């Protein structure tokens, strides 16, 4: 993808599931990809294991040129909460993908101030550093979640404000474009329900379900990365890109993984801050949301940034995981398409172990 050619790309929270797949996809562009990828995160152990995972693969695998890894990837210890750390990391960067987040719903409910510092304060630090020091950053992408739409939990609330922080940053910005992406559950990413179900099934059960009615949007890590790349390529300042993806009932996911094993399923009740159905575009946002191929683009409401488009269909209702839910057989087929059946050995980034 030529838009990354010879660019310096910083991925905050780069050792997470999304950051690892972003790194793999960017490295696969070599020699026509980024000049450098900076993995910016606060966990030195995760950085060490990520570095070692690449160094131990001396041959080219999955289109990644491992021999150039040290030259192309820089690991930088730092925290988006720390303004000085952010300023140092942004020097010389062309594209920022902000994937750093506190995203576990129950954790954010019990430690809301921590979620505020990372999810909101981190975004504010990025914006402030770029504007205060006039860093020539071309694009900043804020990675958000369906929980930011009509939020009822702390994680969603802080992510909703993060979206607004980045949207507002476009006002008065002459050289940096601030955009966002918003999507639902990533299949088999760290902390998602599929690794939990795998562990419960391997242990003989029971499999725990919060409620029989619960639905979630589902997409692969690669589709999440595709959404980010498409937004970088197409989004106008302040727009949020949303992928058009299927949704499924959580009980159907569990039963597809259990198959015919003698595993019990128990209902535990909704956890603090959970919704039965998630929403990617609300009714209130639909009037300024446009169809763009496999995506929806939510335009900013601020009049200084809003640009009406003619000849493109707007969304006429909210986009909920409770609408157009996959059937149980369709859910099973989707999981098998992504090799997520219990018979496959997975790591906790949703990738097959070799």
Active site residues: 147
How far apart (Å, rounded) are the C-alpha atoms in residues 334 and 328?
A: 10
Are the beta carbons of 271 and 214 closer than 8 angstroms? Answer: no
Q: What does the DSSP 8-state code read for residue 160?
A: H
How far apart (Å, rounded) are the C-alpha atoms in residues 98 and 137?
A: 13
Q: Which residues 6+ apart lie within 8 Å of 331 measured at CB?
A: 248, 249, 252, 253, 256
Buried b (16+ CB within 10 A) or exposed e, 336-349: eebebebeeebeeb
Query: Which token pair is 151?
Result: 């939020």
Query: Is the CA virtual torsion 326, 330, 334, 336 positive or negative?
Result: positive
- Can you name the residues that pair with 182 across neighbouring β-strands? 144
How far apart (Å, rounded) are the C-alpha atoms in residues 124 and 279?
A: 25
């Amino acid at each position: 993808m030529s838009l990354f050619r010879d660019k310096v790309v910083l991925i905050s929270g780069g050792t997470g599931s999304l950051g690892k797949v972003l790194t793999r996809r960017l490295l696969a562009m070599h020699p026509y990809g980024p000049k450098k990828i900076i993995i910016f995160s606060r966990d030195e152990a995760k950085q060490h294991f990520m570095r070692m995972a690449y160094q131990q693969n001396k041959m080219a695998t999955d289109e990644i040129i491992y021999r150039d890894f040290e030259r192309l990837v820089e690991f930088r210890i730092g925290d988006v909460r720390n303004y000085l750390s952010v300023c140092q990391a942004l020097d010389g960067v062309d594209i920022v993908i902000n994937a750093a987040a506190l995203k576990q719903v129950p954790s954010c409910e019990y430690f809301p101030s921590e979620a505020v510092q990372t999810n909101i304060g981190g975004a504010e630090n990025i914006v402030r550093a770029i504007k205060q020091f006039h860093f020539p950053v071309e694009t900043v992408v804020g990675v958000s979640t369906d929980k930011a739409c009509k939020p009822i939990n702390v994680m969603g609330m802080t992510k909703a404000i993060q979206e607004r922080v980045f949207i507002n940053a476009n006002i008065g910005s002459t050289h940096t474009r601030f955009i966002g992406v918003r999507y639902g559950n990533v299949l088999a990413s760290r902390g998602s329900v599929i690794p939990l179900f795998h562990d419960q099934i391997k242990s003989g059960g029971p499999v725990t379900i919060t409620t029989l009615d619960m639905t979630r949007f589902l997409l692969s890590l690669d589709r999440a990365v595709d959404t980010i790349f498409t937004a970088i390529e197409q989004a106008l300042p302040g727009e949020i890109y949303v992928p058009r993806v299927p949704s499924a009932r959580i009980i159907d996911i569990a039963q597809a993984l259990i198959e015919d094993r003698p595993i019990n399923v128990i209902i535990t009740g909704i956890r603090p801050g959970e919704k039965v159905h998630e929403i990617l575009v609300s009714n209130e946002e639909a009037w300024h949301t446009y169809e763009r191929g496999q995506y929806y683009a939510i335009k900013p409401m601020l009049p200084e940034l809003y640009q009406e488009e003619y000849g493109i269909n707007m969304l006429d209702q909210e986009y909920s995981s409770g609408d157009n839910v996959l059937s149980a057989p369709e859910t099973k087929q989707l999981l098998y398409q992504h090799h997520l059946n219990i018979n496959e050995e997975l790591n906790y980034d949703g990738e097959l172990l070799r």
